Amino acid sequence: MRSSTCAGSSKPRRGAVDGCRPSARPENTGARRGRRPRTVPSVDHGEGSLMKVGSRRGFLVGAAAFTASVSVGACRSRSGGNGDPLDVSASAKLPPAPESLAADGTTIVLGDPGAPLAVRLYEDMSCPACAEFETEGTAPYLKRAARNGALQLQFTLGSFLGPGSEVAANALRAALDQHRFADYHDLLYREQSRVRKSGGFTRDVLLGMAIMIPGLRGPEFDAAVLETKHRDFVEASDEVLRTSSVVGTPAMAVDGALVSSDSHELYTDRSRLYRHLKKASRAR
């Protein structure tokens, strides 16, 4: 059984935030058929809290050190004026990124799956730190780079924060079938704070929000959400995160190498992340 709860630090330091430590309360959620009652995380969902995966030691400390002053660069053209697809402007007009499910059955890919540079994000849809990374951190830059053909952006969705995370991951997998994963993923994180205040993600909430994405709602999507069609995907994806070296969300890996806890700026500073990705691409 896995759980998370937040505990403050008595001596905060630059780039660090409150973390999450195990403190669970058992509850029979009925979310998974034929399974023992799972432990529902009891967490302080305060903004900026880093969510710890299970009972493993440590935190990806800097991943939640999000600020409103994220560096977005000053580029004048789609490729920054120098032909570099990684140096993509925040104002660039870009086509939607291709969306696909990788052969492993758990990785959702934005961008060309054949792109040599791969960035993997580990997230839980109920994680406040993930929401800040996605809305105020460097995640939007990564999505633009994927749309610009510079990299493939891979997602591993955990659900260690409970039933709300499970139904949200299932709904996102259903959105992938409608080629609306990216838009729906962005919407869920933008609305996460509001949804948490009213009890978190539910099937009805997810269907209601899906109306805001043109082309998403329909009999196939609705049935997949209501009947948890992608239960196997949700469980398998969560297992990948649980058995990985990731100890907290959000987490990032570049070409398979997890970003260290000392590199928290990569989650907040577009310029630093750009340089890190350039170095990785040159090392190929």
Query: What single-letter amino acid sits at 63?
Result: A
Residues 6+ apart with CB under 8 A from 163: 29, 31, 40, 200
pLDDT recorded at residue 178: 98
- Tokens 């030691």 sit on residue: 57
Which H, E and C letters describe the chain, residue by residue? CCCCEEECCCCCCCCCCCEEECCEEECCCCCCCCCCCCEEECCCCCCCCCEECCCCCCCCHHHHCCCCCCCCCCCCCCCCCCCCCCCCCCCCCCCCCCEEECCCCCCEEECCCCCCCEEEEEEECCCHHHHHHHHHCCHHHHHHHHHCCCCEEEEEEECCCCHHHHHHHHHHHHHHHCCCHHHHHHHHHHHHHHHHHCCCCCHHHHHHHHCCCCCCCCHHHHHHHHCCCCHHHHHHHHHHHHCCCCCEECEEEECCEECCCCCHHHHCCHHHHHHHHHHHHHCC
**Residues paired with 233 in a beta bridge:** none
pLDDT recorded at residue 53: 56
Q: Can you give the residue ranges of every domain in the chain? A: 5-282
User: What burial letters (b/e) apply to 92-125, b meaning 16+ CB within 10 Å?
Assistant: eeeeebbbbbeeeebbbbbbebebebbbbbbbbb
φ, ψ at 211 (rounded to 5°)? -60, -25
Tokens of 45: 């969902």
pLDDT band at 9; cut points 50, 70, 90: very low
24-28, 194-198, 210-214, 217-221, range with the lowest pLDDT: 24-28
pLDDT recorded at residue 4: 47
| Contact between 162 and 196 (Cβ < 8 Å) | no
pLDDT band at 33; cut points 50, 70, 90: very low
**Residues paired with 118 in a beta bridge:** 152
Q: How does the average pLDDT of the chain come out, rounded?
A: 79
Asked if the model's pLDDT at residue 84 lies above 90, the reply is no
Asked if the model's pLDDT at residue 201 lies above 90, the reply is yes
**Residues paired with 16 in a beta bridge:** none
- The answer to whether domain 5-282 has CATH 3.30.70.260 is no
| Contact between 167 and 206 (Cβ < 8 Å) | yes
pLDDT band at 42; cut points 50, 70, 90: very low
pLDDT recorded at residue 284: 72
pLDDT band at 29; cut points 50, 70, 90: very low
